[in-house]
């Protein structure tokens, strides 16, 4: 992220890549969405046609079973055998022969048709009197729907799971009438292999397409291509089946009974009262979209490379003048000499460069005026302090001293109470005098002007030690009365503030101060072995350091702070004397002066 914040070229390239990607993604989204809808509609139409075809094939198959079974019920051999079985008892002659003959006929039919078990039921009791498998003989089926309906006309049941046969089945039945008399009901369990063949056939649905039937209990009724052997063993609660059972046929995309996303068409087949579903896996249906995705990705990469090359060339043309502007402004900010800024052209950047160059010239001139003004303000401030100090010393202190004389005379009075009050007043006045003197000295020590910098510093160090119990190890060299007043004041105030910071923060019992002159520069160091601090994290609101820096900047000096937590602090200040008095240029002597 720092690269994008600091580098305009990187931002331009990044923005271009982003815009290209957004464009490619937008085109891809629109293309994918349109292609997806087209494919879904095309597949849905194909699935719908397949379900119509399947429903028609199932209807023909059911119709064939019914018509064929009606024909069988009228077959003379079946009618004659049924009449014998209905009018005789098991012990009568001809009963067993009719039963055996009918069983043989049933087995012959089973070999040729889609039946697995054929039965003849007594028209009154519903008892099975003859069957292709003798194990069924004697069982009662009076309450079965195929018996009740079969007495009236040909009937075919829905698909259900036969507990007796332990497999899915459906039953077709028809009345057996002889000379107008109902002599029995013929019934047969239908072999569902033909139905499974119809449903399993893909009918152009590809490798993953399949069709299947589901009853109202959500039970799968037939084997499927992708799930063989699941008939009556799989409950299906997919979105398509649920909607079809709710009377809402249509097309949708949803997970199938395997949990695989599919496109499906579903509706309720009223003739069978079951849901007919046709589905194909989305992965197969959307294969063309995947090819389109790869094509767009390749085209996007090529387009991105072309645009990236164009952006790099354009961004260099834009950013090179801006870099020159940045380098120029950096030199100006750091105070380094900067050549005249020149950028060829007539565009906005060239105009900006010309304006910036003019602005820098104006700022330089204004800075010079500001420094002059600041210097003058400091002189005025110090002159005001000098005046206040003189006023406090010459007038206020004399007045208070005179009051003290008067109080001394009053104290000789005979009244003891008056003497007591006057004594307290005298003490108070003495304290006021001391405070006023202290205030005068703090505002500006008179000896700074009268005796010079070194005497003023020595006096300040004594007062500082008495107040803070911090010893000052002071040394000086080359400092004499020729130090300009401005530098004397600045040096005294900087040392005064530095010592104040040592007393407040350093936690030491001694501090070293050195003042000397070299190469027309008044140099100051204040060094302690205290707890130290991180100079990079000094609050900008620190009045002490800010004041020192302002004084140094006004005099074109330098200030450096070396410190680290636990490693003490060293303040170094350099104040050029030649800027104020050129005649002082050159090395000064070394009259060492040390105090402790």
Chain segment 73-93, per-residue pLDDT in tens:
889 989 999 999 998 888 888
Q: How far is CA 174 from the centre of its chain?
A: 72
Residue 173 has pLDDT above 60, yes or no: yes
Q: How far is CA 533 from the centre of its chain?
A: 39
Q: What pLDDT score does 237 carry?
A: 92
Query: For 457-467, b where at least 16 C-beta lie within 10 A, e where not — what string?
Result: bbebbeebeee
What is each CA distance from 523 to 219, 444, 514, 516, in whole angstroms? 101, 21, 8, 5
Q: Which residue has the higher pLDDT, 586 or 164?
A: 164
Name the region of 45 (left: φ>0; alpha: ψ -120 to 50; beta: rest).
alpha
Q: What pLDDT score does 592 carry?
A: 52
Average the pLDDT over 505-522 and give the result: 92
Q: What pLDDT score does 372 carry?
A: 67
How would DSSP label each residue in 18-35?
A: HHHHHHHHHHHHHHHHHH
pLDDT in tens, 28-43: 777 666 777 788 888 8
Residue 515 has pLDDT above 90, yes or no: yes
Highest-scoring range by mean pLDDT, 304-308, 377-381, 572-576: 572-576
Q: What pLDDT score does 488 carry?
A: 86
Closest CA to 132 of 112, 157, 159, 105: 105
335-344, 422-431, 559-568: segment of lowest average pLDDT? 335-344
**Mean per-residue pLDDT over the chain, rounded:** 81
Average the pLDDT over 110-120 and give the result: 87
pLDDT in tens, 236-289: 999 999 999 998 999 999 999 888 999 999 999 877 789 999 988 888 888 877
Highest-scoring range by mean pLDDT, 321-335, 439-453, 543-557: 543-557
Q: Which residue has the higher pLDDT, 124 or 334?
A: 124
Q: How many angstroms separate the CA atoms of 480 and 592, rounded?
A: 11
Residue 586 has pLDDT above 60, yes or no: no
Average the pLDDT over 189-200 and give the result: 84
C-alpha angle 260-264-270 in degrees, rounded to nearest 5: 130
Q: What pLDDT score does 499 carry?
A: 93
H helix or E strand, kind and range, residue 317? helix 287-333
Residue 316 has pLDDT above 90, yes or no: no
Residue 574 has pLDDT above 90, yes or no: yes
Strands of 210-214's sheet, edge to edge? Answer: 210-214, 274-281, 261-269, 250-255
Q: What pLDDT score does 148 carry?
A: 93
How would DSSP label each residue in 509-541?
A: SEEEEEEEEETTEEEEEEEE-S----GGG--TT
Q: Strands 155-156, 521-528: parallel, antiparallel or unpaired by DSSP?
A: unpaired
pLDDT in tens, 366-420: 777 677 657 666 665 676 677 667 666 666 666 677 677 766 766 666 666 666 6
User: pLDDT grade, residue 175 (50/70/90)?
Assistant: very high
Q: What pLDDT score does 122 carry?
A: 93
Cβ–Cβ < 8 Å for 174, 183? no
Q: Which residue has the higher pLDDT, 587 or 561?
A: 561
Q: What pLDDT score does 591 carry?
A: 47
Q: What pLDDT score does 339 carry?
A: 66
């Amino acid at each position: 992220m720092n690269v994008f914040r600091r580098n305009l070229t990187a931002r331009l390239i990044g923005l271009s890549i982003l815009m290209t990607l957004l464009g490619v993604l937008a085109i891809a989204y629109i293309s994918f969405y349109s292609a997806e809808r087209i494919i879904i509609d095309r597949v849905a139409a194909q699935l719908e046609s397949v379900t119509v075809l399947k429903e028609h094939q199932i209807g023909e198959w059911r119709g064939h079973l019914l018509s064929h079974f009606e024909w069988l019920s009228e077959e003379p051999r079946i009618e004659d055998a049924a009449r014998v079985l209905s009018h005789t008892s098991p012990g009568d002659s001809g009963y067993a022969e009719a039963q055996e003959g009918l069983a043989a006929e049933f087995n012959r039919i089973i070999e040729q048709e889609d039946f697995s078990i054929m039965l003849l039921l007594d028209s009154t009791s519903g008892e099975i009197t003859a069957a292709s498998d003798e194990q069924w003989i004697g069982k009662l089926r009076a309450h079965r729907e195929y018996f009740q309906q079969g007495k009236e006309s040909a009937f075919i049941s829905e698909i259900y799971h036969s507990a007796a046969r332990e497999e899915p089945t459906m039953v077709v039945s028809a009345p057996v009438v002889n000379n107008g008399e109902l002599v029995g009901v013929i019934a047969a369990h239908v072999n569902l292999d033909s139905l499974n063949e119809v449903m399993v056939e893909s009918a152009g649905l590809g490798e993953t397409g399949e069709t299947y039937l589901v009853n109202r209990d959500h039970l799968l009724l037939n084997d499927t291509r992708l799930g063989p052997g699941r008939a009556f063993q799989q409950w299906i609660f997919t979105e398509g089946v649920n909607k079809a059972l709710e009377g809402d046929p249509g097309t949708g995309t949803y997970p199938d009974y395997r949990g695989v996303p599919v496109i499906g068409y579903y509706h309720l087949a009223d003739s069978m009262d079951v849901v007919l579903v046709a589905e194909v896996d989305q992965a197969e249906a959307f294969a063309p979209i995947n090819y389109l995705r790869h094509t767009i990705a390749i085209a996007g990469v090529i387009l991105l490379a072309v645009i990236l090359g164009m952006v790099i060339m354009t961004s260099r043309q834009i950013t090179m003048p801006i870099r020159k502007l940045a380098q120029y402004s950096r030199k100006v900010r750091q105070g380094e000499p900067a050549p005249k800024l020149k950028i060829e052209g007539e565009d906005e950047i060239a105009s900006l460069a010309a304006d910036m160059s003019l602005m820098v010239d104006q700022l330089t001139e204004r800075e010079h005026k500001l420094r002059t003004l600041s210097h003058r303000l400091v002189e005025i401030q110090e002159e005001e302090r000098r005046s206040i100090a003189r006023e406090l010393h010459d007038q206020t202190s004399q007045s208070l001293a005179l009051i003290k004389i008067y109080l001394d005379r009053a104290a000789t009075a005979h009244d003891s109470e008056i003497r007591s009050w006057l004594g307290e007043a005298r003490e108070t006045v003495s304290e006021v005098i001391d405070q006023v003197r202290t205030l005068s000295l703090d505002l500006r020590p008179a000896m700074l002007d009268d005796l010079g910098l070194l005497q003023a510093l020595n006096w300040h160090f004594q007062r500082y030690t008495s107040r803070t119990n911090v010893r000052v190890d002071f040394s000086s060299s080359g400092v004499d009365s020729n130090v300009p007043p401005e530098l004397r004041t600045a040096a005294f105030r900087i040392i005064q503030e530095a010592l104040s910071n040592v007393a407040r923060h350093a936690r030491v019992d001694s501090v070293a101060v050195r003042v000397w002159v070299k190469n027309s520069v008044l140099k100051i160091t204040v060094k302690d072995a205290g707890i130290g601090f991180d100079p990079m994290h000094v609050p900008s609101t620190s009045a002490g350091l800010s004041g020192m820096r302002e004084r140094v900047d006004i005099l074109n000096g330098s200030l450096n702070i070396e410190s680290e937590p636990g490693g003490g602090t060293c303040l170094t200040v350099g104040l050029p004397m030649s800027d104020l008095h050129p005649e002082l240029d050159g090395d000064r002597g070394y009259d060492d002066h040390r105090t402790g």
